C-alpha cells in the first residue's frame, strides 16, 4: 500500500510541476475520488498543499532559470 501511495504522489507531483491542470483533475488521474482526499494525502506526503507545493516548485524553477541565464 505504501508503494501505491508513493507512486501516486510522484505522478501527482510531476503533473503539478509540468502542467497547468487543475488539482481536481490531477487527483482523479492518480486515483482519488475527491480533491479533498487527494489534498490531505499530498499534504501528508510533502508537508504542503498541492497548490502551495506547485507554486514553490515553479518559483524554484524560475530562480534556477534566471541564474542559468545570468551565467550564459
> Where are the chain's structural domains?
2-71
Binned at pLDDT 50, 70 and 90, residue 65 comes out as confident
- pLDDT tops 90 at residue 72: no
Q: Which long-range contacts (CB under 8 A, 24 or more apart) does 52-57 make?
A: 53/13, 53/16, 54/16, 54/17, 57/16, 57/17
pLDDT in tens, 14-35: 999 999 999 999 999 999 999 9
Instruction: Of 16, 7, 24, give the one whose Cα is nearest residue 54.
Output: 16
pTM of the model: 0.85
Task: State how far the Cα of 72 lies from the Cα of 64, in Å rounded to an integer.
Answer: 13
Can you identify the CATH homologous superfamily of domain 2-71? Homeodomain-like (1.10.10.60)
User: Which pLDDT score is estimated for 62?
Assistant: 87
- pLDDT tops 80 at residue 1: no
Amino acid at each position: 500500500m505504501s508503494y501505491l501511495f508513493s507512486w501516486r504522489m510522484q505522478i501527482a507531483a510531476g503533473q503539478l510541476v509540468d502542467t497547468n491542470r487543475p488539482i481536481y483533475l490531477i487527483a482523479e488521474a492518480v486515483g482519488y475520488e475527491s480533491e479533498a482526499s487527494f489534498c490531505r494525502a499530498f499534504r501528508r506526503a510533502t508537508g504542503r498543499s498541492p497548490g502551495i507545493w506547485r507554486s514553490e516548485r515553479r518559483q524554484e524553477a524560475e530562480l534556477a532559470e534566471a541564474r542559468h541565464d545570468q551565467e550564459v
